[in-house]
């Protein structure tokens, strides 16, 4: 008998006193928003919502029309949720408080509404990444400072990937579990319970166009992979780069690998490219819950104390033995 997201959530609620029902109801609401975003991506070429919106976001990126549509769908679909105090998004400069009266035990939702959006006009995989934190200030209206919690404080992390199939992958701290959208019923069905990342791999993911900018530990690691059986690793490696973090992380959750977006010598990426609060932190929780590791090279990503809503961080995540090797190279430069 197949288990759908609602049943999984009800079972988790019944067996898990770590989180109240309100959290699971919020997760279900977010999943329904992802289902709507999948439909919007699916029909974009048919209804003329491909291409650029002609404005830049707070990141300095040119927004795609679908970046804005996905953001609007997440906002509209969650604003009325009584357990939600405020949201933060890659596509919004400031946080947005919901209209709910302040009550104790509410949550903060953070999201990247459309990840890998440079892929969206070439029909390559894109996704949505989300993270849920407890709102520390139970009485006063939520502030931006409330969002600046280390990733270890997340009560839920997840993503949807809009690829050949639409999948939802999430964790509430008890393993990482994958659900596949059954388009006819609109249900997310549990297809990948307790995903587990192999400790070893022969596959790495990095944008090698930036090689000349990398710092020496990353250069050493990648050069050794490229040297294959002729080099110190004494095995051949393969390289994959989908240019959508959700797709590269999904592959790693399914068959292992290591994903790197390091900081480099350029001003624009001196802290890396990926955003800590709504890309690196949720993906790091999902990877760790699946037995992998996620590091900046110097420290565990989930232990970073944030200082700004849209701050960036270097990310090296995936198969444990590879991330340990990368940390070793960074500590012994």
- 8 A C-beta contact, residue 239 and residue 113: no
> Dihedral through CA 139, CA 144, CA 149, CA 155, nearest 10?
60
Residue ranges in 37-96 that form contacts with ligand AHG under rule CB under 6 A: 61, 90
In the bound complex, what is the minimum distance in angstroms from residue 128's beta carbon to ligand AHG? 9
Identity of the residue, 65 or 81, whose beta carbon is nearer to ligand AHG in the bound complex: 65
Q: Using an 8 Å Cβ cutoff, are 182 and 164 in contact?
A: no
Give residue number: closest CB to ligand AHG: 245
Q: Is 288 in the site for Mn ion (CB under 5 A)?
A: no
Q: Is 61 in the site for Mn ion (CB under 5 A)?
A: yes
| 236 lies in the site for Mn ion, by CB under 5 A | no
The yes or no reply on residue 199 touching ligand AHG (CB under 6 A) is no
Q: Determine, following the binding rule CB under 5 A, whether residue 203 of this chain makes contact with Mn ion.
A: no
Residue 116 marked as a ligand binder: yes
CA angle 123, 124, 127 (to 5 degrees): 105
- Rounded Cα distance between 122 and 112, Å, is 20
Find out whether 182 is annotated in a ligand binding site: no
Position 273 contacts ligand AHG (CB under 6 A)? yes
User: How many CB atoms are closer than 10 A to CB 236?
Assistant: 13
207 binds ligand AHG (CB under 6 A): yes
Say if residues 158 and 253 touch (Cβ distance below 8 Å): no
Residue 90 assigned as binding residue? yes
Q: Is 81 in contact with 26 (CB distance < 8 Å)?
A: yes
In whole angstroms, give the CA distance from residue 283 to residue 116. 14
Residue of 112, 203, 248, 288 interacting with Mn ion (CB under 5 A): 112
117 among the known binding-site residues? yes
Among 12, 115, 146, 203, binds ligand AHG (CB under 6 A): 115
Calpha distance 38→23 (Å, rounded) = 23
Q: What is the DSSP string of 198-220?
A: -S--SEEE--GGGGGGB-HHHHH
Which residues line the annotated binding site for Mg(2+)? 90, 112, 114-115, 279
Where does this chain bind ligand AHG (CB under 6 A)?
A: 61, 90, 112, 115-118, 207, 243-245, 273
Residues interacting with Mn ion, by CB under 5 A?
A: 61, 90, 112, 114-115, 279
Q: Residue ranges for the binding site for substrate? A: 115-118, 207, 273
Would you list which residues are annotated within the binding site?
A: 90, 112, 114-118, 207, 273, 279
């Amino acid at each position: 008998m197949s288990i759908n997201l609602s049943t999984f959530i009800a079972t988790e609620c019944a067996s898990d006193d770590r989180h109240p029902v309100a959290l699971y109801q919020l997760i279900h609401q977010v999943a329904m928003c992802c289902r709507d975003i999948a439909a919007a991506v699916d029909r974009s070429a048919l209804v003329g919502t491909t291409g650029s919106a002609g404005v830049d976001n707070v990141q300095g990126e040119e927004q795609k029309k679908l970046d804005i549509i996905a953001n609007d769908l997440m906002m509209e679909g969650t604003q009325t949720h009584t357990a939600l105090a405020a949201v933060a998004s890659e596509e919004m400069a400031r946080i947005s408080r919901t209209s709910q009266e302040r009550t104790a035990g509410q949550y903060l939702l953070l999201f990247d509404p459309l990840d890998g959006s440079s892929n969206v006009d070439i029909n390559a995989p894109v996704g949505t990444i989300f993270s849920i934190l407890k709102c520390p200030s139970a009485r006063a209206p939520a502030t931006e400072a409330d969002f600046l919690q280390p990733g270890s404080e997340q009560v839920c992390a997840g993503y949807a990937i809009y690829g050949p199939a639409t999948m939802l992958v999430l964790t509430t701290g008890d393993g990482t579990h994958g659900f596949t959208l059954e388009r006819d019923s609109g249900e997310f069905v549990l297809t990948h319970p307790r995903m587990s990342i192999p400790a070893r791999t022969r596959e790495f993911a990095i944008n090698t166009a930036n090689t000349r900018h990398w710092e020496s530990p990353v250069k050493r690691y990648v050069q050794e992979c490229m040297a294959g059986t002729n080099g110190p690793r004494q095995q051949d490696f393969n390289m994959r780069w989908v240019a959508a973090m959700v797709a590269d992380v999904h592959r790693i959750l399914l068959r292992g690998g290591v994903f790197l977006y390091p900081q480099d010598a350029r001003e624009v990426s001196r802290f890396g490219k990926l955003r800590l609060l709504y890309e690196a932190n949720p993906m790091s929780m999902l990877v760790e819950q699946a037995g992998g590791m996620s590091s900046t090279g110097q420290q565990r990503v989930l232990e970073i104390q944030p200082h700004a809503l849209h701050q960036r961080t270097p990310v090296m995540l995936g198969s444990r033995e590879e991330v340990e090797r990368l940390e070793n190279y960074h500590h012994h430069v």
